[in-house]
Chains A and B, each alone.
Chain A
Amino acid sequence: MIRHNILTNDVARQNFVQGCLALKAEPLGTTRYSTYDYFAFWHHRAMNFMTPPGNSAGRNAAHAGPVFGPWHRFLLIVFENQIRRVLNEDDFRLPYWDWAADAASPAGSPLWGPDVLGGSGNPVRSGPFRDGSGFNIRLTQDGNSDDWMDVDRPLRRGFNIFGTTVPSATEVTNSINSFPFYERQPYNNDVSSFRWDLEIPLHSTVHRFVGGDMMTTTSPNDPVFFLHHCNIDRIWARWQSTYPQALYLPRQTAPDTYRFHREDDRMHTFLDINLTPADILDYTVYYDYDILN
């Protein structure tokens, strides 16, 4: 099954939008939250679990370390499964936003049109997730404590407030060409590697451009999170196809200080599943992309 560009595949676009709305409308147990909200909660909790505590580089169970690629691949697959279930569409695969194609004018991308994600604003006032659509944010990070707090408000975006650009196709290609290795010691953001380049210059720049809810640890609150990370995953897949012999690092022989990031470590999850980076390196078991380059 194929993951498509959301701007060139109407079926994928419609299913993604309808799937997000359906998961938002589906109660999570007997809580005030929805199945959709669970992903913002999970992302927040993983991001606030330091691995190990005290590391000054900010490495946590989902970011700033090797597991950034596998853990987000894991989260996307679980979310994709949820949309398949709620829409009863077994062939559904997440679409991606090829933001590099919009680098000349990211705010002008058709992605922000009323039939896709709607535009910028506090609150967002257009599109299927606009104020009044029922797509309300139910939990967000507390800015003063790193804990999360209950809210009930519309989605927020703020283009060009914290960042004005998204990476270009040339920057993506340069990243792939510059790093034939996935990671290197000490496996954090103090040294450059493909993982570092993927996460910091490429991935974080897009979060900053979108702004609003995408700036926080509960960034999956904005559906663009999934389209953006699907594209990040696609770039990692392209890197994997470019360097098929390159190893995921660190191996399991690395010290326990790298737990949560080694190839056979269980990845952070509240679900009853023991999934490791090694389980997920071959993404073609789960999906494929229409175009890698």
Chain B
Amino acid sequence: MQSGKEKVAGCKVEHAEEVGDDLRHLDQPDWVKELARGGHGHDDHAGHGGHGGDHDGGFTSTRTTHHDGHEIEIKTTYHIKIDGKPYRGHLSVNDDGHLHCHAIPYETYGSALDFVRNLIDIYPDTFATKTQG
């Protein structure tokens, strides 16, 4: 049986045999996609499966818990548009009520407005500056 060290020593990023001409086809590793297809409860996040995303910038996050024998479900939906265009990124709401998103993974927000302001500031490649001078 190979040790972890032997396994790592065999990693050949430099050969990049899977890469070919582009990285675009590497949506997720084949073995990960196979797990998703096998009904193991995983899916490529690209489709936002289970998060309730739609094409109009709407995103629904569902929180469930139990309290004193009662079943609780809370659905929170955000509809966000920036310059009239729907925001299509992933959003979720933590148990403490804070907004979490993939685009700004090292921060959570009590205010969706603060989130969008930071989003625009952090991604100038996506959101060109429109400040009037």
A residues bordering B, Cβ < 8 Å? 26, 28-31, 33, 35, 38, 41, 45, 47-58, 60-61, 63, 74, 77-78, 81-82, 85-86, 122, 139-147, 149, 151, 153, 161-162, 189-190, 203-204, 207-208, 215-217, 256-257, 259-260, 266, 268-276, 279-280, 285-286
Smallest CB-CB separation from B5: which chain A residue?
A: A285
Instruction: Tell me whether B16 is interfacial, beta carbon within 8 Å.
Output: yes
Of A29, A86, A259, A275, the residue contacting B20 (CB under 8 A) is: A29
User: Which chain B positions have C-beta within 8 A of A60?
Assistant: 45
Of A51, A86, A149, A208, the residue contacting B126 (CB under 8 A) is: A149
CA distance in complex: A145, B103 (Å): 8
- Known contacts A29-B21, A151-B125, A161-B121; A35 and B14 CB within 8 A of each other: yes
Q: Interface on chain A toward B: helix, strand, loop, or mixed SS?
A: loop
Interface residues of B in 13-61 (CB under 8 A from A): 13-14, 16-23, 26-29, 31-32, 35, 40-46, 48-51, 61
User: Which chain B positions have C-beta within 8 A of A268?
Assistant: 29, 32
Docked-complex contact A82 and B45, CB < 8 angstroms: no
Smallest CB-CB separation from A151: which chain B residue?
A: B125
Instruction: Tell me whether B68 is interfacial, beta carbon within 8 Å.
Output: no
Docked-complex contact B32 and A273, CB < 8 angstroms: no
Instruction: Tell me whether B8 is interfacial, beta carbon within 8 Å.
Output: yes
Query: What 6 pairs across the A-B complex have the smallest Cβ distances?
Result: A143-B123, A54-B50, A279-B4, A143-B126, A53-B50, A204-B106
Docked-complex contact B41 and A143, CB < 8 angstroms: no
Residue of A146, A259, A269, A275 contacting most chain B CB atoms (<10 Å) = A146
User: Which chain B positions have C-beta within 8 A of A149?
Assistant: 125-126
Docked-complex contact B94 and A81, CB < 8 angstroms: no
- Known contacts A49-B28, A140-B125; A146 and B11 CB within 8 A of each other: no
Docked-complex contact B13 and A35, CB < 8 angstroms: yes
Docked-complex contact B11 and A273, CB < 8 angstroms: yes
User: Which chain A positions have C-beta within 8 A of B124?
Assistant: 122
CA distance in complex: A161, B121 (Å): 10
Of B5, B18, B21, B50, the residue contacting A30 (CB under 8 A) is: B21
Docked-complex contact B13 and A29, CB < 8 angstroms: no
CA distance in complex: A40, B64 (Å): 34
